[in-house]
Structure 1
Amino acid sequence: MPRRTAIALAVTLALSAAAAAQDAPGAADHPLVTRYPGTELAWQAVENFMPFRIPVGPVTGYRQIDDWIDAEGRVTRSFYSYRGTDRSFDEVYRNYLDAFTAEGFDIRAQGISDTRAGAEVGGRQWLDVYLRESPLPKAGPVGAIAAGTSSQGGQGGFVASKDRAAGMVHVAVVVEQHAEDQVAALIDIVEAKPAEMGLVAVDAEAIGRDLAEKGRVVLDGLYFAFDSAELEARSAPALEAVAAYLGAHPDRRFYVVGHTDAVGNFDYNRDLSAARAAAVVAALANDHGIAHERLQAHGVGPLVPVFTNADDAGRDRNRRVELVEWPG
């Protein structure tokens, strides 16, 4: 029988089993993969956009894995449960692995462990470190796998990626023999995509409010070309808002301070942050008639982070330009 036909039959079985399963309210199979026949979708969580980490290496120390995929995008986490003694975790695991391999996914890491202390990919220690980075609820149907209370031993896991026309997708699958009559499967799917930008920009009222409360304001809505101090055209609304505030307060002076993330050379980042601050000052002076002597550009590079530099989301927030009160 051709392989594609076999997969189609599995899909039909899965859909018929789904009708009888006691799925969690509102939960649904992800379009990327059907469930194993006879399983119920006991828990699911979906986030439209969030950072997410998936390990692709073994445990190398206490709660430590060295190799990770750091992605961000739409995250779907699904927990399936199979009740019965006629299927083993190994059979369910190999069905998922075979299906993703057949669909052209790159298997980034895989492993099976017969003990509860396995540090290899797919082992219990590996899963514990994974779930510390990407936690699951401790209560409810998924709580047992999250807490590591499986009493039967034996589990497997793999991580797979595929670059599709719609963007990169990463999948982590963990299957365990949770009890003599229960096989549990956790399937995490990350559809990588950039955050939808341009939804937040400063306005004159917000600038005044933040300056009154904090003495500084982050100038959201400023965009620079990659690794450059060149302001992009879509920065115009934010620059107009800043100019409106400055025009309404002609006696006040401000520092314009650039910030970067911590990636790369310190001196380079400091210079880049200063150049971006100077570009904002130049745009306000040349295009909006703000007196140049009222603004002083500075760059501090990565010295004043507001979020962690350990992930993409934090680094993105640390790359910013602020307007800071200039006393006197």
Structure 2
Amino acid sequence: MRKYLLLCAAVAPLAHAQMPPQDTVKGAKDHPLLSRFTGAKLVGYEVKEFDEALLPAGKRVADKNNQPNFDKVLTLEGKVTRIAYNYPKDRSAVEVMRNYQAALDKAGLKTVFACAKENCGDSFGEYWRASRVSNNFVKGEIAYVEPFNYGRNDERYLLAKGTTADGTPVHVAVYSVAPVQDKNGGLYLEIVEGKPMESDKVSANLNAADMAKGIAAEGKVAVYGVYFDTDKSEIKPESKAALGEMAKLLQQNPQLKVYVVGHTDNQGAPAHNVDLSQKRAEAVVKALAADYKIDGKRLSAKGVASYAPVASNDAEAGREKNRRVELVKQ
């Protein structure tokens, strides 16, 4: 799955009329999962490391308000790659789509939905032209977007799903329009890899007042602003804001004594994680005592590894929630 799935068509003299002489988007490249159809030129490209994608998985129909919609739509999240190509007008949409179908089948991806022409439903091609392959997406001359306009009523579509070699779920949408009225053909790919979102891009640490409310209500409060490198117990500099609020809580409530409890996810050996979480809790106690002059007698470090999760450890989003420091009232 890491290698290109080569889409091989018999090589024949190419029709050069209106074909881009080269790719029109600087720095763009084919997706590692799928190569381009022979002779195609890349004319539109966008990659989002994490985004939402809506991929049709059914015919275009009228909804209860008589507005165009789909029988079914998949709402996906992950890394989204969008690529548009022009392909030579001496190749057919049937040939293009069957090559992609064969490549996806060979890679083990299963077809979720496929359609051609009127079987796709009314205004199916218009939807793709308006929402995906408009002038704003296709770069270069107007001739390079024209295939998606002129060929929108002679369209084919395929949605497939599977997993990559490392187990990442992936969905691939392939939309093609036939060469009509002496235009070239148009091809659009949208590939969604179900990778977790990069976290810790925005900090939203609890302040001392919020921590006090949590302890009053539940006897404990989780603090997510204390950061450590993987498998390390040294507190990272960006933890300063959270430590400051923890210190303020203890300064404003001089009678309060707390357990500083370190939690990990379930990755790694349990015994190792118990030791790691204990060392992390001790590092927080040491920082509060040394840097903020909190009496060490009011603090007690405890490490409980992954024995008290607040979310499932089956996915990264849950593991992230489980990696935390808690202040528990003694």
Q: How high is the TM-score relative to the length of structure 1? A: 0.54
Higher Rg: 2
2:135 is the alignment partner of 1:138: yes
Following superposition of structure 1 onto structure 2, how do residues 166-315 of structure 1 map, counting pairs within 5 Å? 166=166, 167-179=168-180, 180-202=182-204, 234=224, 236=226, 240=243, 242-244=245-247, 246=249
Report the alpha carbon displacement of residue 153 of structure 1 after superposing the two structures with TM: 3.6
Distance 1:22 1:148, change over 3 A: closer
Tell me if structure 2 keeps the 8 A contact 1:50–1:75: yes
Amino acid at match of 1:243: M
Q: How high is the TM-score relative to the length of structure 2? A: 0.53
Tell me if structure 2 keeps the 8 A contact 1:63–1:129: no
Secondary structure, in 3 states, of the residue corresponding to 1:10? coil
Q: d(CA) in 1 for partners of 2:248 and 2:10?
A: 62
The aligned counterpart of 2:264 is none
Q: d(CA) in 2 for partners of 1:131 and 1:245?
A: 57
2:94 is the alignment partner of 1:93: no
Tell me if structure 2 keeps the 8 A contact 1:138–1:147: no
Q: d(CA) in 2 for partners of 1:88 and 1:158?
A: 16
Tell me if structure 1 keeps the 8 A contact 2:178–2:185: yes
Q: d(CA) in 2 for partners of 1:249 and 1:131?
A: 61
Distance 1:21 1:106, change over 3 A: farther
Tell me if structure 1 keeps the 8 A contact 2:125–2:155: no
Secondary structure, in 3 states, of the residue corresponding to 2:203? coil
The aligned counterpart of 2:112 is 108
The number of residue pairs the alignment matches comes to 216
Q: d(CA) in 1 for partners of 2:251 and 2:21?
A: 64
Secondary structure, in 3 states, of the residue corresponding to 2:187? strand
Tell me if structure 2 keeps the 8 A contact 1:64–1:129: no
1:67 aligned to 60, 64, 72, which one?
72
Give unmatched runs, 5+ long, in structure 1. 1-6, 14-19, 217-221, 223-229, 251-288, 290-328
Report the alpha carbon displacement of residue 234 of structure 1 after superposing the two structures with TM: 5.0
Tell me if structure 2 keeps the 8 A contact 1:163–1:169: yes
Q: d(CA) in 2 for partners of 1:93 and 1:176?
A: 10
The aligned counterpart of 1:76 is 81
Give unmatched runs, 5+ long, in structure 2. 12-19, 215-219, 228-238, 254-297, 299-330
Distance 1:49 1:162, change over 3 A: same
- CA deviations 1:178-221 (Å, max 9, x no partner) are 433411000111111111123432358xx69xx9xxxx9xxxxx
Tell me if structure 2 keeps the 8 A contact 1:21–1:41: no
The aligned counterpart of 1:262 is none
Distance 1:147 1:139, change over 3 A: farther
- CA deviations 1:31-89 (Å, max 9, x no partner) are 101111111111111111111111101123122224222111111111110133x2111
The aligned counterpart of 1:273 is none
Tell me if structure 1 keeps the 8 A contact 2:134–2:145: no
The aligned counterpart of 1:125 is 123
Amino acid at match of 2:138: P
- CA deviations 1:233-268 (Å, max 9, x no partner) are 856568645434556777xxxxxxxxxxxxxxxxxx
Report the alpha carbon displacement of residue 95 of structure 1 after superposing the two structures with TM: 1.3
The aligned counterpart of 1:22 is 22
Tell me if structure 2 keeps the 8 A contact 1:55–1:130: no
The aligned counterpart of 1:295 is none
Report the alpha carbon displacement of residue 136 of structure 1 after superposing the two structures with TM: 4.6
Q: d(CA) in 2 for partners of 1:83 and 1:60?
A: 31
Q: d(CA) in 2 for partners of 1:243 and 1:11?
A: 65
Distance 1:150 1:249, change over 3 A: farther
Distance 1:77 1:151, change over 3 A: closer
More helix by share: 1
- The more displaced of 21-30 and 184-193 is 21-30
Q: d(CA) in 1 for partners of 2:186 and 2:226?
A: 52
